[in-house]
Amino acid sequence: MRALNRVCHFNGEIKTSANGTDAIGEISRNHFDLCFLDVNLPDISGLDVMKKIKEVSPETRVVIMTASVLDDDMKNNIERDAYMFIPKPIELDVIKSFIKTELEANDGPASRGGARVGEAIEEKREHPRMACSKVAHYSISIFSDWELRSNLVADIIDISEGGVGIRTSFPVSIGNVIRFEQDFNRKKGVVTWWEKEAYKYRSGIKYI
């Protein structure tokens, strides 16, 4: 809670629950925009809690966090129902960027992935970008087992001091951490927006 206030600069109302049952009860009684949920809870599985949250409050975006080894069924459940997955240990820069993007997205319509197009994207940019036509190899933080999502290829569309724009055939979501093999000022960034383009995904990556 302190990290959300002090590091992530989130000033909204924050509530915590000691177990999954209490979390379900709290979300059943009140509206929450986001729910940060661990897989391993004292009473029931966090994935079962996520399923119940989707029933009682489908508009609540569930962020799953865990250091556990995930089997295929667990991964499928997370990919289907979670808004974002964060492997532990948690990087606060990722949470900070994610919350900032979510707060900005409240000013206008956003898809499940938070896609914003055209002028809306341009207005959010802090640094001017230059067109680029390089190919980059990268890994993406979908699950803690990096070998499942490594050695992916992206076309670099534009580049700036603060980040890069990429186009890739692999689907991305807001909050995914991208690690580039090449050094574009920095080797790590977080997805801040995305949009679908035919059979490709275009996204903006902010260095962290």
Q: Report pLDDT for 154.
A: 92
| pLDDT exceeds 80 at position 74 | yes
Is 78 strand, coil or helix?
A: helix
What is the rounded CA–CA span in Å between residue 79 and residue 86?
A: 12
Band of residue 80 on the pLDDT scale cut at 50, 70, 90 = confident
Residue 50 has pLDDT above 90, yes or no: yes
Domain 119-207 - what CATH class? mainly beta
| CA-closest candidate to residue 202, choices 154, 136, 159 | 154
pLDDT for residue 38 is more than 90 = yes
SS3 for 122-145 is HHHCCCCCEECCCEEEEEECCCCC
How much of the chain exceeds pLDDT 70, in percent?
A: 72
For the chain, the structural domain boundaries read 2-90, 119-207
Reported confidence tier of residue 25, pLDDT bands at 50, 70, 90: very high
Which tens digits make up the pLDDT trace of 147-192?
A: 457 788 999 988 888 888 999 998 887 777 888 887 665 678 888 7
H/E/C letters for each residue in 142-207?
CCCCHHHHCCEEEEEEEECCCEEEEEECCCCCCCCEEEEEEEECEEEEEEEEEEEECCEEEEEEEE
Least confident of 18-22, 86-90, 152-156, 164-168: 86-90
Examine the pLDDT at 2 and tell me if it is beyond 70: no
For tokens 């948690």, the residue is 90
Whether the predicted pLDDT of 146 surpasses 50: no
Most confident of 72-81, 109-118, 153-162, 170-179: 153-162
The CATH number for 2-90, chosen from 3.90.1170.50, 1.10.10.350, 3.90.1150.10, 3.40.50.2300, is 3.40.50.2300
Identify the burial level of 109 via C-beta atoms within 10 angstroms of its C-beta, where 0-12 means exposed, 13-18 middle and 19 or more buried: exposed
User: What's the chain's average pLDDT?
Assistant: 77
Mean pLDDT, to the nearest integer, of 31-57? Answer: 92
Residues 36, 30, 83, 62: is their CA dihedral positive or negative?
positive
Burial class of 149 by CB neighbour count within 10 A (0 to 12, 13 to 18, 19+):
middle
Check pLDDT > 50 for residue 109: no
Residue type for position 134 = K
Burial of residue 11 (CB within 10 Å: 0-12, 13-18, 19+) is exposed
What is the rounded average pLDDT of the residues 23-41? Answer: 91
Element (H, E) at 36: strand 34-38
Given a cut of 90, whether residue 41 has pLDDT beyond it is yes
Q: Taking CA 81 as the corner, what is the angle to CA 93 and CA 75, rounded to the nearest 5 degrees?
A: 80
